[in-house]
Chain A
Amino acid sequence: MTETLLKVEDLRTYFSTEEGVVRAVDGISFELAPGERRGIVGESGSGKSVTAMSIMRLIEPPAGEIVTGTIEFRGENLLMLGDDEMQKIRGSKIAMIFQDPMTALNPVYTIGDQLMETIILHQGVSAAQARDLAIQALEDVQIPNPEGKLSEYPHQFSGGMRQRVMIAMGLSCNPDLLIADEPTTALDVTTQAQIMNLMLKLAAERDTAVLLITHDLGVVAGFCDTVQVMYAGGIVEFGTADEVFHNPQHPYTWGLLGSMTRLDEVHKKRLHSIAGAPPSVIDLPIGCRFKPRCEFAIDKCGKVLPMLQDVEGGSQRVACHRAEELDLKTFTVTDDEHEEVAS
């Protein structure tokens, strides 16, 4: 890797609840290059959003706490910064877009007010200049009549329009990193693609790196350079989108891919589903966390937690004891019995 924008090392974010300690993110490490588009995929509860919130340092004690780890952003450990310094980074260097645009904007202030607030805060410009920049920002996200829209309230906007506003707000200060936490999940299918295209086009124009959190593999395949797959608080596989989609190394990734509908294949069989449910992150199994649901599990999987390891010939990394011996490409996913084609 030539240059690193973000370097997360052994990050652990735990939440204390009445049932016990929830290890939402449990020792993850990854790097992100400037301008890179990274997809983070995984089921609900796999720690994707908590990772994002940890980077933004929006985890609030006493409920949740970053226990160990470092988050280096441009060589600076964010976890060591004071509140004031972190506030200067939030919204200006690292921006975030949230899942539900319907509730992400404050209902009692106008769109213009909320947009200009960010611009004035981070760019130190006058109100008049901020107004011009806000109009420009709304124009960039293709909102018609941006000047008139400044004085409107969020409830006068549709979901797609609100998410455009959120994108405008996120990109208004030309951040180095944009974290998008399932930005299109709450939207219509028809607006999803528009919003994704718009967001990534604008990010590319500004050379902004994107951390796209989603459970939609199709979105990742279409928009991301690299992918990391998370399962129960850990990263199980990492690689370029091409590598991961065409040559999955982890049984979980393989299962996820098998559960996708594809337009280029005629389906004769039912879609695959991964048996069972993710483990409770309070009471994690010893060894590989995917073991209870894994059809390739061996004894070792129940005893030793596999670490992320490089896969030969590429940038791919995987956390699986059997990665080397298994060639998952050659297995066919069927619904009930998974017959091993070559073994």
Chain B
Amino acid sequence: MLAYIIRRLVYGVITLLALSMIVFSLLQMTGGGPLDRLKLNPRMGPYIDTLTELWGLDQPAWRQYLTWLKNYTTPETIALQNVLPVIAIGAAIGLTVLMAKFMKSQWQGLLVVGVWVLALWIAISNTTIKFNWGTSFSGAGDVWNLVFSRAGATFRLGLTALTLALIIGVPLGIYQAVRQYSFFDQLGTVGAFFAFSTPIFIIGIGLQIVLALYLERWTGVKIFYVTGMNSPGYSDLSAIGKLVDTVQHLVLPAVSIALISLAGYARFQRSSMLEVLHSDYLRTAKAKGLPRRKVIVKHALRNAMIPVVTLVSLDLAFMIGGAIITESIFGWPGIGRLYILAITTIDYPLVMAIVMVIGMGLVLMNIIADILYGVLDPRVRYD
């Protein structure tokens, strides 16, 4: 198990290297460089040469890439704020070494990964660490600070949407399968079809009009906000006021993203559950005399969840991709909007940084999903 995780991590690093090369090449191939926009401005004339030299654009592409790679991966500053990171990482290493000998079951594998994620999170949040990811060409400032100030907002939106989609979509699909062809099932099917086939900008704008604009007009109270993450006077609010304000801003964009995923999960869960419900081992469970509830909850659910894990892990990419549009509609200060800015201005350091952050997230999620398979399905073995 440990060998498997390490192997997957090594593959992950190779994948990310390949990704960075491809994206870097693509950026080089785009028509016009990052300076073209500035060249249009006659007053910039004297500075173009300076900028070219400063950003290293006069160097051959391979040297630019190597410089970027070196800077990207070397910490610029690293300082411990307290002793917590040392303890966390030490504990994680200790647990891994301790469990390496007995690590047979996937549960333990998942536990180790979980402990490492937690340890790294403690380590990073208690350390002043900064990588030199360069300065944005479009004048947005230091890339490291920029990405991490925006990541929180995207994370908040994505996680809320994913949670909503999971806690509604999965049970919905299960219920539909158990009550196949009932009125509710048909309704769910039609609803899912609509949600799935409506473009996200229609859903987003539709929600804004109905749930924010009309609702405020009818009730006279502002219930949901259509833009931003917080109100201007946010810092003066009480703790409860802050929470309410956050929720008021979060609901509409999160629901927009969640609706589409939710429809997908419900459809997928329904068909996977139906397949299991008609399986021989479920007949065995019924023949044993188990109550219907236990037949479904114990014998059907776990089997029916296996295919859905794939969908959810793949969906994380969609969450980030979908967030680009949603963030623009709702003025959400997340990575998605930053990404659009970076691409339209051919901002090399910013594009690279965002692509790599998304890539790292996907690689990690894939590893976790693969281990989760093993937890759910004992037939999956990692040797």
Residues of A within 8 A of B (CB): 56, 58, 62, 83-84, 86-92, 95-96, 98, 100, 103-110, 117-118, 121-122, 153, 155, 166, 169
Given contacts A153-B379, A155-B378, A155-B379, contact A104 B281 (CB under 8 A): yes
Which residue on B lies nearest to A84, using beta carbons? B291
Which of B279, B287, B302 has the largest number of chain A CB atoms within 10 A? Answer: B287
B interface residues, how many (CB within 8 angstroms) = 21
A residues near B8, Cβ cutoff 8 Å: none
Q: For residue A62, give the distance in angstroms from its CB to the closest CB of chain B.
A: 8
Q: State whether B280 touches A98 (Cβ < 8 A).
A: yes
Known: A89-B289, A121-B290. 16 other contacts (CB 8 A): A56-B287, A58-B283, A86-B289, A88-B289, A90-B287, A90-B289, A98-B280, A98-B284, A104-B280, A104-B283, A106-B281, A106-B285, A107-B281, A107-B379, A108-B302, A155-B378
Given contacts A98-B280, A103-B279, contact A108 B288 (CB under 8 A): no
Which residue on B lies nearest to A108, using beta carbons? B302
Q: State whether A117 touches B288 (Cβ < 8 A).
A: yes
A180 to B378, CA, bound (A): 28
Q: State whether B284 touches A108 (Cβ < 8 A).
A: no
Q: For window 294-310 of chain B, which residues contact chain A by CB distance below 8 Å?
A: 299, 302-303
A155 to B381, CA, bound (A): 12
B242 on the A face (CB < 8 A): no
Q: For residue A49, give the distance in angstroms from its CB to the closest CB of chain B.
A: 11
Residues of B within 8 A of A (CB): 181, 279-281, 283-292, 299, 302-303, 376-379
B residues near A122, Cβ cutoff 8 Å: 289
Binding site secondary structure of chain B: helix
Q: For residue A184, give the distance in angstroms from its CB to the closest CB of chain B.
A: 16
Task: List 8 A-B pairs, minimum CB-CB distance, nearest first.
Answer: A91-B289, A90-B289, A103-B280, A91-B288, A106-B281, A96-B287, A153-B378, A87-B289
B residues near A107, Cβ cutoff 8 Å: 281, 303, 377-379
Which residue on A lies nearest to B284, using beta carbons? A104
Q: For residue B292, give the distance in angstroms from its CB to the closest CB of chain A.
A: 7
A91 to B281, CA, bound (A): 14
**In-complex Cβ contact of B281 among A62, A103, A118 (8 A):** A103
A residues near B379, Cβ cutoff 8 Å: 107, 153, 155
**In-complex Cβ contact of B303 among A106, A153, A166 (8 A):** A106
A118 to B288, CA, bound (A): 6
A276 to B377, CA, bound (A): 46
Which of A117, A122, A166 has the largest number of chain B CB atoms within 10 A? Answer: A117
